[in-house]
């Protein structure tokens, strides 16, 4: 009964969305206030119906209703409750429902809280948002109905892939989707602005919180996925340049560029067309990601079950949404007149360079991801593009970006003295050289990129601190405290985010450059040394979990005799799918991770053991956390809630 | 999808092989299979202790080469990272060739002769991959050039100031004459 | 303020520049559409051996009354080489097709038993019948790797010149695949 109601709710949502597309758009063109006013309640109604449908699907999972096809395919009565709930989005149909739910949440939020938006812009924004909703709801109802019933329900479900039965599952996809789908808001704002023919500082101010929210979520989602694969998949890797990982990275790169170029639009009334283009392309990348995962054109560990018919539908959505908006861009963008003039060496110039490097980075990832496909279509013979390529081609641009990021905030708007800025960064340069020397001395024989990565991270970290210290004027401490308190939150946000990036880069460098491992067959009582730690293997035992059985090993880890930790890696077997998984045992010292993995014992009683010492890996997660924190602090800046600038005098605040 | 299931050696239960997609077996099986493909990543131990070479220098070379060789039955993983049986076979072959005295390039060519360029995770430099290798730097330089041109053009654009009104012209005169009277700040 | 000619040209190139994104996007979308149209199984790795001479191999026999197979046996006639294994379910599904093909004596089928236990393989043949003129035992799997296979079943059509003419990936279980393969064999026969 409830699944059928869920389906009806989706149909109603589609009807509302259609209304939300037509009436506000026509109303805005004709100055019809009552038609424009349809948008917010329609958006709220959509949220209600889609929310209902989502809860209906979740109820089917939680109650193990195996007459619903997706539940039978992806759930099992022995599964713990949290995974039953999270399995709602662990498959194609359910994740699509999550997609439209988040789309509806953002739409309703703008409808409800966007009171400072001029009515025409608000109407058009919600109309465009509803266009996307129509596309996806139609896609779901026509090809991927989550509420399809089975004629003969099985006695029990096929179980969720054991890899996905993990707290990370509850967190990673919704966060990612908040990001992907959140950028739809920037897209809607851009298209609405192009329809209206006007982009100004106010527009940039209004679009910022939504873009920032999406960026924060996407950063958190990507980091969560990375962390999850690190501890779940058992080889200590956190990024594989897998096509679907890349599909989440590309909108992140463009979204970061968008955040920065919107600042220029807001402060200096420049870079308008480029910002429009970025807003369209960022969401375009989200849609391309959706296409990748669900159409089967590329193989990936992440891909859902594939079906060419679905692929064609999504491609159609993509062409209409992005092709349409890019055509609108080609027609309307030339009419946008830029205001402020500026010199190449200026903060605007630095932000342009930032955008250029991020965009080219995105091009690198795009080419690497899709070149095998293009080669295939053109019958050029199969090629593969993996980590070695990205390492060589992506990293140089990233390195240049890191160098610029330390300098940019020190440059004033309009016209800057580069030599002066660099002089103020002398202490950062000294720190960089010191660290590079230290690394070269400590890790002699280590890879060159280790030194470079450490140097870049240090440069950015110290440079960011220098900028902050200068801004609050640390020379006069009493004055500094007062200035620090008066500093706009967005300034803190920037400092935290840039510092977070630096820390994350140091973490990535440490793990990639100085990882150590020991692989051997061990018996109970054997000891092995790795990176100054001694691991004594104490044998294995059989344990049982709620829906699995496992072989559990024990390692006693000591450092120079002093006990450090006891590690319990496991090798689990989930009987329903007959699938084994490894549960790595990880201990973090803050500066490094101790990582242990075991295999099942062989006939002679020896156990194949993999031990890893991963320096600075925790700093990846820490750095990402700082970036997310910076974003949140920025988001809480009250100035973002200021309405159209005419309403109050905006005091000259120089920095974002 | 055309083609049917391909079978792989899955003798030992500890190592799940990759299973292809069942044709016509229904969505359920397809989803299951797709998830099983995900499973190959789960048991990813890299090299087994029994595979490792005695000579550490050769073993290091083997690991380095393995990281650039694609596991042909997996999704974008290297043979160093994959637990699939075929990946283990290829790892063994890499080590055999090294022990036989092949150079790194010869080992790679041995595998390319059998599986094509597909087996290399670092695309070889050929006309079909020029866009990959030269594209991004070229686009970067082109865009940089376009930006420089943009700046040059804007410097040429001088916005002509509006002519002064009679009132303003008078004020200007008195200011230049320095009559000392304070006026509204401009 | 009159617009100078070079400013007009500038305006035109500006307009073209604004068209670039949508043009590039449509090109990319075109590739995606072509990829969907081709509907290739993304797991299928194209064979690197097509057009090249058959790799060298010499495999001992599986059954007492059926000879083993080596490259020397490819002597100027078109031959099918079929990699199979007893543990492979699709190979069973494909077997009737092979039996049907075996009726044509002018197209011998050589079987190579890949990474299999000899007893199980013998039982497999005894149970299902023997379509193979020769059967080789490739327990280590090396010959398969030399042929660049990624699993079983895979079937190679070797031409008169000893070069690999075509590679069939996966089992032949439906009519379309069978018809396509037969057409290819006909081409290879010249």
Whole-angstrom distance, CA of residue A297 vs CA of residue A294? 9
In this structure, the strands spanning C109-114 and C134-138 are: parallel
Q: What are the residues facing A541 on neighbouring strands? A: A552
**H-helix or E-strand spanning residue C111:** strand C109-114
pTM: 0.88
**H-helix or E-strand spanning residue A425:** none
pLDDT tens, residue by residue, A273-301: 999 999 999 999 999 988 888 887 776 65
Residue A342 tokens read as 């500026």
Domain boundaries, chain C: 1-39, 58-189
Interface contact flag, B45 A597, Cβ < 8 Å:
yes
Nearest CA in chain B to C55: B114
Task: Mention every residue, 6+ apart, whose C-beta is less than 8 A from residue C115.
Answer: B9, B85, C85, C138, C139, C140, C141, C144
The crossing angle, in degrees rounded to 10, of helices A617-635 and A201-232 is 150
Interface contact flag, A304 B70, Cβ < 8 Å:
no
Q: Say what percent of chain A tops pLDDT 90.
A: 52
Chain B: touching chains (3 or more CB pairs < 8 Å): A, C
Amino acid B185: pLDDT = 46
Amino acid A395: pLDDT = 96
In the predicted model, what is the mean pLDDT of residues A411-439? 92
Lowest mean pLDDT among A64-73, A320-329, A418-427: A64-73
Identify the CATH number of the domain defined by range B44-119. Answer: 1.10.8.640
Q: In chain C, what residues touch A284 (CB-CB under 8 Å)? A: 25
Whole-angstrom distance, CA of residue A46 vs CA of residue A48? 5
Nearest residue, CB atoms, C48 vs list B90, B93, B116? B116
What is the distance in angstroms between the Cα of A220 and the nearest Cα belonging to chain C? 29
CA-wise closest residue to A44 among A134, A126, A107, A130:
A107
CA-wise closest residue to A506 among A592, A404, A425:
A592
Interface contact flag, B89 C151, Cβ < 8 Å:
no
Chain A: touching chains (3 or more CB pairs < 8 Å): B, C
pLDDT tens, residue by residue, A167-222: 776 778 899 999 989 999 999 999 999 999 888 888 888 888 899 999 999 999 99
Q: Tell me: ipTM over 0.90.
A: no
Quote the Cα angle for A220-A225-A228, to 5°: 120
How confident is residue A654, by pLDDT bands cut at 50, 70 and 90?
A: very low
pLDDT tens, residue by residue, C91-120: 999 999 999 999 988 899 999 999 999 999
pLDDT tens, residue by residue, A122-131: 999 999 999 9
Fold of C58-189: Glutaredoxin (3.40.30)
Q: Which DSSP string do the residues of A432-478 spell out, in sequence order?
A: HHHHHHHHHHHTTTS-HHHHHHHHHHHHHHHHHHHHHHHHHTTTSHH
Q: Which DSSP string do the residues of A479-527 spell out, in sequence order?
A: HHHHHHHHS-HHHHHHHHHHHHHHHHHHHHHHHHHH-EEEEEEE-TT-E
Interface contact flag, A73 B128, Cβ < 8 Å:
no
Higher pLDDT, A73 or B41: A73
> Is the Cβ of C18 closer than 8 Å to some Cβ of chain A?
yes
Task: Tell me: pLDDT of A651 over 60.
Answer: no
Q: In chain C, what residues touch A376 (CB-CB under 8 Å)? A: 35, 38, 40
Nearest CA in chain B to C144: B114
In the predicted model, what is the mean pLDDT of residues A51-78? 88
Interface test with B, best of A370, A383, A595 (most B CBs within 10 A): A383
Interface contact flag, C21 A273, Cβ < 8 Å:
no
Interface contact flag, B20 C170, Cβ < 8 Å:
yes
Nearest residue, CB atoms, C21 vs list A296, A329, A373? A329
In this structure, are residues A77 and A156 in contact, taking their beta carbons and an 8 Å threshold?
yes
Looking up tokens 């092709």 gives A323
A630-646 CB burial, b ≥16 within 10 A, e <16: bbbbbbebeebeeeeee
Q: How many CB atoms lie within 10 A of CB B152?
A: 10
Q: What are the residues facing A535 on neighbouring strands? A: A528, A557
Lowest mean pLDDT among A149-158, A224-233, A635-644, C23-32: A635-644
Lowest mean pLDDT among A48-62, A470-484, A606-620: A470-484
Q: What is the dihedral angle through the alpha carbons of A59, A60, A62, A65, rounded to the nearest 10 degrees?
A: 150
CA-wise closest residue to A276 among A323, A195, A333:
A333
Nearest CA in chain C to B5: C90
Task: Mention every residue, 6+ apart, whose C-beta is less than 8 A from residue B124.
Answer: B117
Chain C from 28 to 67: CB within 8 A of any A CB: 28-29, 31-36, 38-40, 42-43, 45-46
Domain boundaries, chain B: 44-119, 127-177
Q: Which DSSP string do the residues of A521-554 spell out, in sequence order?
A: EE-TT-EEEETTEEEEEEEEEEEE-SS-EEEEEE
Task: Tell me: pLDDT of C78 over 70.
Answer: yes
Nearest residue, CB atoms, A377 vs list C22, C29, C31? C31
Residue A524 tokens read as 């109970």
Interface test with A, best of B13, B30, B34 (most A CBs within 10 A): B34
Write phi, then psi, for A386 (nearest 5 degrees): -130, -165
User: What rounded mean pLDDT belongs to chain A?
Assistant: 88
Higher pLDDT, A256 or A271: A256
Asked, as a colleague might, if the bond just before C153 is cis with ω within 30 of 0, I would say yes
DSSP character at residue A319? I
Nearest residue, CB atoms, B123 vs list A74, A162, A383? A383
Interface contact flag, C19 A330, Cβ < 8 Å:
yes
What is the distance in angstroms between the Cα of A288 and the nearest Cα belonging to chain C? 10
A526-539 CB burial, b ≥16 within 10 A, e <16: bebebbebbbbbbe
Q: What is the SS3 assignment for A580? A: strand
Higher pLDDT, A114 or C120: C120
Residue A519 tokens read as 């692989």
The sign of the dihedral angle between the CA atoms of A203, A209, A214, A220 is positive
Task: Tell me: pLDDT of A264 over 70.
Answer: yes
The crossing angle, in degrees rounded to 10, of helices A39-62 and A92-113 is 150
Interface test with C, best of B34, B114, B161 (most C CBs within 10 A): B114
Task: Tell me: pLDDT of B33 over 70.
Answer: no
Amino acid A325: pLDDT = 96
Nearest CA in chain A to C16: A330
Task: Tell me: pLDDT of C87 over 80.
Answer: yes
Nearest residue, CB atoms, C90 vs list B7, B11, B89? B7
Task: Mention every residue, 6+ apart, whose C-beta is less than 8 A from residue B70.
Answer: A384, A386, B76, B77, B78, B79, B118, B119, B120, B121
In this structure, are residues B112 and B70 in contact, taking their beta carbons and an 8 Å threshold?
no
pLDDT tens, residue by residue, B99-118: 999 999 999 999 999 999 99
CB pairs below 8 Å between A and C: how many? 66
Task: Tell me: pLDDT of B22 over 70.
Answer: no
DSSP character at residue A397? H
């Amino acid at each position: 009964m409830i699944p059928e109601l869920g389906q009806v709710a989706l149909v109603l949502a589609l009807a509302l969305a259609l209304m939300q597309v037509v009436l506000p758009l026509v109303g805005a063109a004709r100055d019809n206030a009552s038609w424009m006013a349809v948008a917010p309640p329609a958006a709220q109604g959509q949220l209600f119906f889609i929310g209902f449908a989502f809860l209906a699907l979740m109820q089917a999972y939680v109650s193990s209703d195996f007459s619903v096809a997706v539940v039978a395919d992806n759930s099992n009565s022995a599964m713990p409750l949290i995974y039953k709930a999270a399995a709602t989005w662990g498959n194609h149909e359910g994740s699509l429902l999550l997609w439209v739910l988040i789309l509806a949440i953002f739409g309703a939020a703008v409808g409800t809280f966007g009171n400072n938006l001029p009515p025409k812009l608000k109407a058009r924004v919600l109309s465009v948002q509803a266009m996307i909703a129509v596309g996806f709801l139609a896609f779901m109802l026509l090809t991927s109905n989550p509420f399809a019933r089975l004629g003969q329900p099985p006695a029990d479900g096929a179980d969720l892939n054991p890899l996905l039965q993990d707290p990370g599952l509850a967190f990673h996809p919704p966060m990612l989707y908040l990001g992907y789908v959140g950028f739809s808001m920037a897209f809607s704002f851009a298209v609405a602005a192009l329809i209206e023919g006007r982009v100004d500082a106010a527009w940039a101010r209004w679009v910022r919180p939504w873009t920032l929210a999406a960026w924060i979520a996407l950063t958190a989602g990507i980091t969560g996925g990375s962390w999850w694969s690190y501890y779940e998949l058992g080889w200590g890797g956190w990024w594989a340049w897998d096509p679907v990982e890349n599909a989440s990275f590309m909108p992140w790169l463009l979204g970061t560029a968008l955040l920065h170029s919107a600042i220029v639009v807001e402060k200096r009334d420049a870079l308008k067309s480029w910002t429009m283009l970025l807003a369209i392309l960022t969401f375009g990348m989200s849609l391309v990601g959706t296409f990748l995962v669900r159409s089967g054109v590329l193989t990936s560990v992440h891909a859902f079950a594939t079906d060419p018919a679905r692929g064609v539908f999504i491609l159609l959505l993509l062409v209409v949404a992005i092709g349409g908006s890019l055509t609108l861009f080609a027609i309307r963008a030339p009419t946008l007149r830029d205001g402020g003039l500026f010199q190449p060496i200026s903060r605007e110039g630095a932000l342009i360079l930032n955008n250029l490097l991020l965009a080219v980075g995105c091009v690198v990832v795009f080419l690497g991801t899709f070149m095998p496909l293009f080669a295939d279509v053109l019958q050029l013979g199969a090629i593969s593009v993996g980590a070695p390529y990205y390492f060589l081609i992506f990293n140089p641009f990233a390195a240049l970006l890191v160098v610029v990021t330390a300098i940019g905030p020190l440059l004033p708007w309009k016209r800057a003295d580069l030599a002066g800025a660099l002089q103020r960064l002398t202490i950062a340069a000294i720190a960089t050289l010191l660290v590079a020397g230290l690394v070269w001395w400590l890790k002699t024989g280590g890879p060159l990129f280790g030194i470079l990565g450490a140097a870049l991270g240090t440069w950015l970290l110290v440079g960011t601190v220098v900028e902050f210290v200068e801004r609050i004027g640390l020379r006069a401490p009493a004055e500094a405290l007062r200035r620090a308190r008066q500093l706009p939150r967005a300034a803190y946000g920037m400092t935290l985010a840039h510092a977070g990036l630096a820390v994350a880069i140091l973490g990535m460098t440490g793990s990639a450059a100085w990882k150590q491992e020991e692989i051997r067959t061990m018996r109970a009582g054997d000891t092995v040394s790795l990176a100054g730690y001694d691991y004594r293997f104490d044998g294995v035992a059989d344990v049982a979990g709620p829906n699995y059985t496992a072989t559990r090993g024990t390692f006693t880890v000591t450092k120079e005799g002093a006990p450090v930790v006891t590690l319990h890696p496991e090798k689990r077997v989930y009987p329903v799918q007959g699938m084994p998984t490894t549960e790595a045992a990880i201990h973090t010292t803050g500066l490094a991770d101790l990582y242990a993995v075991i295999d099942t014992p062989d006939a002679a009683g020896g156990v194949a053991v993999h031990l890893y010492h991963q320096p600075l890996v925790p700093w990846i997660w820490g750095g990402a956390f700082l970036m997310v924190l910076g974003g949140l602090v920025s988001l809480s800046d009250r100035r973002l809630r200021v309405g159209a600038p005419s309403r109050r005098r905006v005091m000259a605040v120089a920095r974002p | 999808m055309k083609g049917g299931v391909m079978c792989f050696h899955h003798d030992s239960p500890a190592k799940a092989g990759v299973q292809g997609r069942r044709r016509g077996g229904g969505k359920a099986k397809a989803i299951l299979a797709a998830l099983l493909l995900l499973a190959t990543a789960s048991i990813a131990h890299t090299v087994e202790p029994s595979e490792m070479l005695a000579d550490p220098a050769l073993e290091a070379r083997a690991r380095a080469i393995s990281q650039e060789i694609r596991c042909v039955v997996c999704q974008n993983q290297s043979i160093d990272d994959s637990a699939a049986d075929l990946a283990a076979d290829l790892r063994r072959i890499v080590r055999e060739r090294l022990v036989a005295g092949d150079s790194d390039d010869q080992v790679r060519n041995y595998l390319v002769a059998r599986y094509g360029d597909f087996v290399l995770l670092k695309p070889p430099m050929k006309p079909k991959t020029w866009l990959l290798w030269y594209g991004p730097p070229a686009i970067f330089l082109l865009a940089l050039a376009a930006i420089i041109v943009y700046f040059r053009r804007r410097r040429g654009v001088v916005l002509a100031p509006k002519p002064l009104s009679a009132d303003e012209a008078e004020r200007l005169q008195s200011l230049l004459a320095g009559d000392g009277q304070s006026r509204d700040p401009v | 303020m009159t617009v100078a000619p070079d400013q007009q040209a500038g305006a035109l190139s500006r307009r073209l520049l604004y068209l670039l994104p949508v043009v590039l996007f449509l090109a990319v979308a075109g590739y995606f559409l072509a990829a969907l149209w081709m509907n290739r199984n993304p797991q299928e790795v194209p064979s690197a051996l097509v057009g090249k001479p058959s790799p060298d191999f010499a495999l001992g026999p599986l059954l007492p009354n059926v000879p083993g197979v080596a490259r020397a046996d490819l002597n100027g006639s078109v031959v099918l080489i079929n990699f199979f294994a007893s543990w492979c379910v699709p190979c069973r599904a494909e077997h009737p097709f092979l039996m049907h093909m075996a009726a044509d004596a002018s197209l011998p089928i050589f079987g190579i038993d890949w990474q299999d236990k000899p007893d199980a393989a013998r039982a497999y043949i005894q149970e299902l019948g023997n379509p193979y003129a020769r059967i080789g035992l490739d327990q280590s799997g090396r010959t398969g790797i030399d042929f660049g296979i990624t699993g079983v079943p895979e079937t190679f059509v070797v031409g008169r010149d000893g070069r690999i003419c075509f590679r069939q990936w996966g089992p032949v279980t439906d009519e379309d695949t069978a018809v396509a393969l037969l057409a290819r064999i006909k081409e290879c026969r010249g």
